[in-house]
């Protein structure tokens, strides 16, 4: 049995609040996100991207619809199966303030019961990969926003999950660090052929890292388009000079522009 797709099937969700009108965050979202590929999701602020992530992670039950993980059996048929191993880099970092950088990164491994020596080794490697060597014993309160974000990234990568969910993983970084880590992530993805779902506000980042780009509409969010990124791998940042990159950018920007205006008006 091989894991083939994250299948999002007619998912709608609304948030109820005591003193306000309910907020419809998602309406009838359906899509197949292929395993071993990077699915980038772009859409205006508030369109429900983080909500969709919570639903895919099984942390929020959708009002309607479902998310299933599809596997191909020996006979070639697709059937739903149990959730693969997943890790998430949250938009708001979610670091534990009373733990050091090293202990934050190793936290998930600890929950899995990984022995101490292996935990230390894997955490150290992940910390090096986000260029934070030397800060192992710092506490989150002693770090800048960008550094906290890199700890969050290390904490996701250290798990070597089957699916890595990334919610704006580079949002708080300066432009240079962002470019550097985008290249690192791209190399990682190519080496391990990971299933990655990347939420980002940056069209360039969505294209550079993605195998396809899913464009969502203004709230209530729906999937407006899914565009394959037909640029060769391995990619480095020079791919942004490719004519095809410019065409994809224009196409996605065209789809997003009206949605962003709508999102700002409601």
Ligand X SMILES: Nc1ncnc2c1ncn2[C@@H]1O[C@H](COP(=O)(O)OP(=O)(O)OP(=O)(O)O)[C@@H](O)[C@H]1O
Q: Is 119 helix (H, G, I), strand (E, B) or coil?
A: helix
Binding mask 208-237 for ligand X (x = CB under 6 A): -----------x------------------
Binding mask 88-127 for ligand X (x = CB under 6 A): ---x------------------------------------
Q: Which of 50, 64, 202, 240 binds Mg ion (CB under 5 A)?
A: 50
15 binds ligand X (CB under 6 A): yes
Q: Which residues of 122-140 are buried (b: 16+ CB within 10 A; e: fewer)?
A: bbbebbebbebeebbebbb
Question: Interacting stretch for Mg ion, rule CB under 5 A, among 43-51, 71-79, 109-117, 250-258?
Answer: 43-51
Q: Which residue has the tokens 């090293």?
A: 102
Q: Which is nearer to ligand X, 32 or 260 (CB)?
A: 260
CB-hemisphere CA count at 13 Å for 249?
Answer: 13
Q: Which is nearer to ligand X, 35 or 47 (CB)?
A: 47
Binding mask 41-70 for ligand X (x = CB under 6 A): --x-xxxxxxx-------------------
β-partners of residue 212 are: 39, 228
Rounded to 5°, the CA angle 209-57-193 comes to 35
Provide the edge-to-edge strand list for the sheet that holds 64-72. 20-34, 2-17, 64-72, 78-81
Q: How many CB atoms lie within 10 A of CB 73?
A: 11
Binding mask 120-159 for ligand X (x = CB under 6 A): ----------------------------------------
Nearest distance in Å: CB 203, Mg ion: 16
Cβ pair 223, 256 in contact under 8 A: no
């Amino acid at each position: 049995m091989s894991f083939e797709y994250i299948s999002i099937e007619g998912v709608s969700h609304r948030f109820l609040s005591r003193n306000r009108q309910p907020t419809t965050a998602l309406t009838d979202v359906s899509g197949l996100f292929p395993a071993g590929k990077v699915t980038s999701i772009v859409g205006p602020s508030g369109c429900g991207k983080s909500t969709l992530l919570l639903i895919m992670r099984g942390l929020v039950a959708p009002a309607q619809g479902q998310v299933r993980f599809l596997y191909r059996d020996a006979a070639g048929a697709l059937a739903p199966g149990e959730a693969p191993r997943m890790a998430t880099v949250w938009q708001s970092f979610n670091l534990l303030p009373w733990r050091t950088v090293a202990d934050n990164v190793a936290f998930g491994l600890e929950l899995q019961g990984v022995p101490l020596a292996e935990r230390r080794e894997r955490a150290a490697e992940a910390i090096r990969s986000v260029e934070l060597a030397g800060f192992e014993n710092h506490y989150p309160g002693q770090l800048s926003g960008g550094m906290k974000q890199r700890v969050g990234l290390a904490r996701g990568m250290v798990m070597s999950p089957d699916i890595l969910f990334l919610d704006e993983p580079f949002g708080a970084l300066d432009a240079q660090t962002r470019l550097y880590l985008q290249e690192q992530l791209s190399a990682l993805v190519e080496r391990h052929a990971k299933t990655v779902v990347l939420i980002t506000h940056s069209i360039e980042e969505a294209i550079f890292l993605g195998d396809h780009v899913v464009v969502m509409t203004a709230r209530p969010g729906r999937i407006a388009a899914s565009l394959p990124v037909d640029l060769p791998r391995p990619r480095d940042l020079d791919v942004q000079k490719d004519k095809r990159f410019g065409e994809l950018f224009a196409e996605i920007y065209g789809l997003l522009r009206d949605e962003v205006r709508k999102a700002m008006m409601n």
